[in-house]
Each structure stands twice: as structure tokens, then as C-alpha cells.
Chain A
Amino acid sequence: MPEDNIDHIDFDKLNQNSISKPLIKKIYTADPSAHVFNGNIYIYPSHDIDAGEAFDDLGSHFAMEDYHVISMDSISILGGSGVDSYKDGEKDILMQISQKVQLPLYQMMTRQLYYHLLQK
């Protein structure tokens, strides 16, 4: 998994030109699975952490420890200046997991939510 050299990137300029801003800045998030339930927007992302693993072709440097849910009651805040509606607290943490489970996908069925995880 070779990484492109990023030394030439001016991140201030890149962020200025970006078509969108990070939705959450308090934690690193990825692989967003977005859904609308009862008029609210729910995003179930991966939560990236740095576990200090060396880079390799198997992606061992990717590590996660739990899952969080981001909820928003309006689309109007999307794509604007970025939001930090995410609140710290245990209720946002869906579950603690081993660090090698990735890529969440939610499905709503009858009145229960099923959370599917990919085991690496």
C-alpha cells in the first residue's frame, strides 16, 4: 500500500479550496455510512486512532477501538462551515471493539437497528 508523498501539499490552501469541511474535528472519522431515520440524519463512521503501528501493505497502521454515531437534525448545517455537533460522552459510543474491526454499516429492520461490522 504505497503512500503518495505529501510534502508538496499546502494544507491551508487545500482546505481553502476544498468543496467541504470536516464534519467533526474532535475525533478522526472515516468510512461514513449515512442514513435518515425519522427525519434525522445519522452517520455511522469508523473512528480512527493512531495505535503506533508501522505502515505496511496490509494496512496495519489503520486502527480503531470503538464506534460513535453522529446525529444531525438538519441538512442545512451540512457542507457549510463545518459543525461540531458531536458531543463527548459515553452515549455517543456505540460499542467498544477490537482494533481490527472496520467499516460500519447500519440497517434498520422493524424496530431494531442491526450494526454490521467487517472483521479484518
Chain B
Amino acid sequence: MNDGLLEFSEEPKEVQILDENGKLLLAGDNDRRFFEAAWLHKYNGKYYFSYSTGDTHFICYGIGDNPYGPFHYKGRILNPVVGWTSHHSICEVEGKSYLFYHDSSLSKGVTHLRCVKVKEIKYRSDGSIITLNPYEDR
């Protein structure tokens, strides 16, 4: 964006998310395709594009070498929460990465009355993110 942050400094480009064969994730791939809630963060020199799959309720991500992409689909960050929507951000605090997200637990399942939560996310040595189960048995 330009200095005033009120308009684009260049034509917006489409972001490409590619599958394991380098092919575009298509609209029918509901478990993996982008729906909403885009977020970009950087880890170990790579760009991580994460998003919600909407009607399948996952937070997924792809990794790219460039903030413009393309991003290679790598998996899920968060499995479905209570409530239809899932929307997040990822922020590094004191050397650790945290997933900020929400669910509808505080309202006992009212899908449009949500509550913000946070949990640390961890990376494997290959840069992939270990999937969080929001309500794992402990």
C-alpha cells in the first residue's frame, strides 16, 4: 500500500495456493482451499500464509519463499472449534509463536457470540506446524 495506507501502490495480485503436485487448490477442495481469514507471518525466512477453510472449519497454511506466493499447502494449524467460524492470527512473543483464535464456548455454542483464546504453536524441524486439537482429552 502507499504511504497513506489508503490505496494500493500496485495492482492487487491473486494469491496462489498449490497442492503437493504444484497444482492450484481448486474450489471443490473444501478441506484445503482458501475461504476467508487471511494471515501472513514469517518464520525462519519463509512466509506462512494461513487461512480458514470456511465450511470445513479448518485453519490451514501454506509456505512460500515470497510474500506474494505461491504458497505450497502444508496442512492444518487448528482443527474445528465450536461455532461455524474459525479466524486467527499468529504472533511471536518472546521467541515463541502463539495462535490467537476464537470459539463459541463462552456462549455455549452460539455461533455469532465468540471468545478469543490463545495457544502456543510449535514447529517441526522441517518448518511444518504441529496441528492443534482445540479440545483434546487431557
State the A residues within 8 Å of B (CB).
Answer: 1, 3-4, 6, 9, 11, 14-15, 17-25, 28-36, 41, 43, 45-46, 48, 50, 55, 59, 61-63, 70, 75, 78-79, 103, 107, 109, 114, 116
Contact = CB atoms under 8 A, between A and B. Distances in A.
Contacts of B82: 6, 9, 14
B117 A23 contact: yes
Interface stretch (B8-16, B43-51, B62-70, B94-102): B94-102
Nearest to B5: A114
Interface of B: 3, 5, 37, 82, 84-85, 87-94, 96, 98, 100-103, 105-120, 132-138
Contacts of B114: 28-30, 46, 48
Contacts of B94: 75
Interface of B is mostly: loop
Contacts of A43: 100, 116
Contact of B119 (A20, A22, A28, A29): A20
A107 B109 contact: no
B116 A75 contact: no
A17 B138 CA distance: 6
Contacts of A30: 85, 87, 102, 114-116
6 contacts: A18-B103, A20-B117, A22-B105, A22-B115, A32-B116, A34-B98
Given A1-B84, A14-B105, A114-B5, A79 B96 contact: no
Contacts of A11: 105, 108-109
Given A1-B84, A107-B5, A22 B117 contact: yes
A41 B113 contact: no
Given A6-B82, A78-B98, A14 B135 contact: yes
A75 B112 contact: no
Contacts of A45: 102, 116
Contacts of A22: 105-106, 115-117
A50 B115 CA distance: 14
B109 A17 contact: no
Given A19-B133, A62-B112, A41 B85 contact: no
B106 A28 contact: yes
